[in-house]
Structure 1
């Protein structure tokens, strides 16, 4: 099963993120910006070909992200509920994301078929997220979903700091 390695805490940052294989060879580059409606992260092969991208389509009442395989929209990811654990769904792909999101140990399923499993590993060069993806063709979208999960995890406090009952001050 192909495995993809990403340096820990790089997915949610604004920096360039390299995705490597088991031998440490760079396969993909994830670049872009998070935070506002319309912001985009793009995933490129190392030869410069665009393979997938994420577009932030909503920031009010929960973030929503559109997923693209190249330039074709393949789905939208949104949180369905978070008790007792987080559960995310991509209706168009019929993919479910669930598990221990907080500790980066979760999976993506299409019914009873595993699409991706996320775990962590410590190597000589540092701490990494390990994405096990049985079908190499699913890797670009799975990497994008992992980036969204990382973003939601590390930006959770910012989202919960908004007081929806507060009266705006227009003075």
Structure 2
């Protein structure tokens, strides 16, 4: 198993996000933006080669994201249901994502085989998401799935705030 570390709340933002190993060595760079159909988030190895990317395929009837590895579409992630907890599925890969999405504690399984677990960790350098990926070859796609989960989580929170009138705007 290989662990990957991503600074908390940087995973799905529209800024550059660095994915590191347990020794702090930068392994991947995640760049791009979300929000509109056709937007793309790309994952690059530190040698500059794009290893995976996510394309936002739908925003109207439930958000769907197409996942590509080495420019080949490997699947489409969409939410199946959210009772009693969220459950997401990538049909082409036979990957199921479930657990406590709200607290970044979930798993990705291929049938009964674990692909990845997501958790949070606190270190001297800050708070991080810790991705524990069983096979290194699955890491680029698993990191992309984690970015989608993070995006859904934080955008769902923004939508709830708007509906309940809790949105705060600061003016200079």
TM-score range, shorter chain: over 0.9
Q: 1:159 to 1:74 in 2, by over 3 A?
A: farther
- 1:33 corresponds to: 33
Flag structure 1 segments of 5+ consecutive residues without an equivalent: 163-171
**Partner Cα distance (2:150, 2:24) in 1:** 22
TM-score normalized by the length of structure 2: 0.92
Query: Aligned to 1:139, what secondary structure does the other structure show?
Result: helix
- 1:7 corresponds to: 7
- 2:18 corresponds to: 18
**Partner Cα distance (1:110, 1:26) in 2:** 27
For residues 114-133 of structure 1, what are the structure 2 equivalents within 5 Å?
114-133=114-133
Query: Aligned to 1:147, what secondary structure does the other structure show?
Result: helix
TM-score normalized by the length of structure 1: 0.92
The C-alpha deviation readout for 1:87-131, integer Å capped at 9, x for no partner, is 000000000000000000000000110000000000110000000
Query: Aligned to 1:34, what secondary structure does the other structure show?
Result: coil
Flag structure 2 segments of 5+ consecutive residues without an equivalent: 164-172
Query: Aligned to 1:14, what secondary structure does the other structure show?
Result: coil
**Partner Cα distance (2:118, 2:41) in 1:** 20
After TM superposition, the runs of 4+ consecutive aligned structure 1 residues lying more than 3 A away are 157-162
Shift of 1:157: 3.9
**How many residues get paired?**
162
Shift of 1:158: 4.5
- 2:73 corresponds to: 73
